[in-house]
Amino acid sequence: MMNNPKLNCDYQKLDTPFLLVDKPVLRSNLARLSKEIEGMGAELRPHFKTLKSLDAAPYLLAENVSPVTVSTLKEAEALACEGYTNIIYAVGISGDKLPRVYQLLSMGVDLKVLLDSKEQAQVPNQYSEDNRCAIPALIEIDCDGHRGGIDPNSPELLELAELLHRGSAQFKGVLTHAGESYRCFDETSLRAAAENEVKAALNAANRLRDAGLPCEIVSIGSTPTAHRYQNLQGITEVRAGVYGLFDLVMAGIGVCNLNDIAARVVTTVIGHNKEKGWVFIDAGWMALSSDRGTAEQPKDCGYGLLTDSTGCLLDKLQVTAVNQEHGIVSAVDGGSINFDALPIGSRLQILPNHACATASMHSHYHVFDKQNNSYEIWTRIQGW
C-alpha cells in the first residue's frame, strides 16, 4: 500500500486529469450511514465495488470480521489477503467461479454466494458434494422487479431453500436490493421503496422459518433506501456502496447534497471555441466514464457539474459532451460562459454523475485531507 499520511502534495501541481477524494467528506458519509444503521440494530455491510481499494478498507470496515459485499471475486481475494473474512459475493454464481470460491473458503474466509433458481442451486450443491465442502449460499429475492431474484411469495422460494438446505451447499439466508429506488425523486416514494424492501425480505425470511428452514442472514440495501429506513427489526444487515463517495445521481434522488460528494475529477482547460460557447477540458470519458445516470432524473447534469478549484459550484455550466480525452463544457439553462474566467491552463473540478463508474476509470485515487494536512494515493483493485 502506498499510504503515506506524511506525504506533502500541492494538488495544484498534480497532472490532470485525476480523481480527487476528499477524505473528511468520505469519512463523514461513511460514519453517517454506519451510525444510522447500527442505531437501528442492524449491521452495515458496505459494498466494496465503489471504492475497490484496500487502502479504503480500514475506513469502510472497522474489524477483520466486519461484513463486506463484493462485486467480483478479485475483490474478495484481495480483501481475504488483507485478513477480511466476512464476505458476500453479490452477483449470481456460475459453476466456473466455484474453484476460486472454494479456494477462499479453504483459507478460512466466510464467503457467501448468491443465486435465484433451482438450476443454479444444483451448481454449488454438486460442487460441494464433489469437493467435500459446503458452499454458503444466499437466495436473491426480487422486491421491486428491478433485475434478478425470486418473488418472496412464490413456492419456488421454499423449494430452492430446501434444495440448498438438504443438499451439500449451505443455505444461509436471503438478500434483496431495491434497485428501483434509483427512480424515486421524493421523500414519499423513497420511504415507500425502503419499506417495501424491508417487507419483502422479512416476508421471505418468515415464510422460510415457518417452513422449518433456517434463515440466518436477512440482507437488504441500496444507497437510496439505506438512508430512509424507519425500522429494521428482523433485518440482519444493510448493504450500500456509493454512500461513501456519493454523486450527482444520489444528489438528484435527494439522499445527499452536492457538498457531500467526496470524489471529483480535476481537469485543466485546454481550449476555447468562443463562437460555439465551448470550453475544452482534458477530461473526457476516459476520466469521467460515459455514465449518463442523471439523464433520467428531473435535473439532467450532462456528464457532470463543475466547480472552480476551490470547490465552488459554477452555476449553469455542465460537461455537455465527452470524447476519449476531451470534454466540452457549455452553458445550460440560459447561462453563459465567461471565457476570461476560464483561461487555458486553469483548473476545474467535475462532480461525477455516478461515482462507481467514474472511480472505475482510475487506477489510483488522490486522497486529500486538508484538516489533517495529509495526502495519500489509494490503489484500485482491477479486473475480475
Q: Which residues bind a second copy (CB under 8 A)?
A: 15-18, 49, 71-73, 91-97, 100, 115-117, 119-120, 123, 145, 147-148, 179, 268-273, 276, 280, 282, 285-287, 289-292, 323-326, 328, 343-345, 356-357, 360-364, 382-384
d(CA 266, CA 366): 10
- Give the three cell numbers for residue 36: 444510522
Sign of the Cα pseudo-torsion (380, 25, 289, 47, in order): positive
Sign of the Cα pseudo-torsion (187, 189, 190, 194, in order): positive
Please give the DSSP secondary-structure letter assigned to residue 116.
-
CB of 90 to a second copy, least distance (A): 9
Assess contact for 111 and 83: CB atoms under 8 A: no
Assess contact for 94 and 71: CB atoms under 8 A: no
Sign of the Cα pseudo-torsion (202, 177, 252, 186, in order): negative
Q: Using the minimum distance from each CB to a second copy, give the nearer residue, 228 or 354.
A: 354
Q: Using the minimum distance from each CB to a second copy, give the nearer residue, 182 or 229.
A: 182
Q: Using the minimum distance from each CB to a second copy, give the nearer residue, 42 or 265.
A: 265
For cell 460537461, what's the residue?
A: 319
Alpha-carbon distances, residue 363 vs 9, 18, 78 (angstroms): 19, 10, 15
Alpha-carbon distances, residue 95 vs 48, 104, 133, 175 (angstroms): 23, 15, 14, 20
CB of 72 to a second copy, least distance (A): 6
Q: Using the minimum distance from each CB to a second copy, give the nearer residue, 259 or 273.
A: 273
Q: Using the minimum distance from each CB to a second copy, give the nearer residue, 128 or 236.
A: 128
Q: Using the minimum distance from each CB to a second copy, give the nearer residue, 108 or 145.
A: 145
CB of 39 to a second copy, least distance (A): 29
Q: Using the minimum distance from each CB to a second copy, give the nearer residue, 71 or 236.
A: 71
Assess contact for 84 and 66: CB atoms under 8 A: yes
d(CA 266, CA 278): 18
CB of 103 to a second copy, least distance (A): 12
CB of 216 to a second copy, least distance (A): 23
CB of 115 to a second copy, least distance (A): 8
CB of 182 to a second copy, least distance (A): 10
d(CA 152, CA 196): 12
d(CA 108, CA 102): 10
CB of 344 to a second copy, least distance (A): 5
Q: Using the minimum distance from each CB to a second copy, give the nearer residue, 133 or 328.
A: 328
CB of 63 to a second copy, least distance (A): 26
Q: Using the minimum distance from each CB to a second copy, give the nearer residue, 43 or 142.
A: 142
Q: Using the minimum distance from each CB to a second copy, give the nearer residue, 103 or 206.
A: 103
Please give the DSSP secondary-structure letter assigned to residue 56.
T
Alpha-carbon torsion, ordered 24, 55, 38, 231, to 10 deg: 90
Angle at 109 between CA 108 and CA 111, to 5 degrees: 140
Q: SS3 for 262?
A: coil
CB of 162 to a second copy, least distance (A): 19
d(CA 135, CA 152): 23
Please give the DSSP secondary-structure letter assigned to residue 140.
E
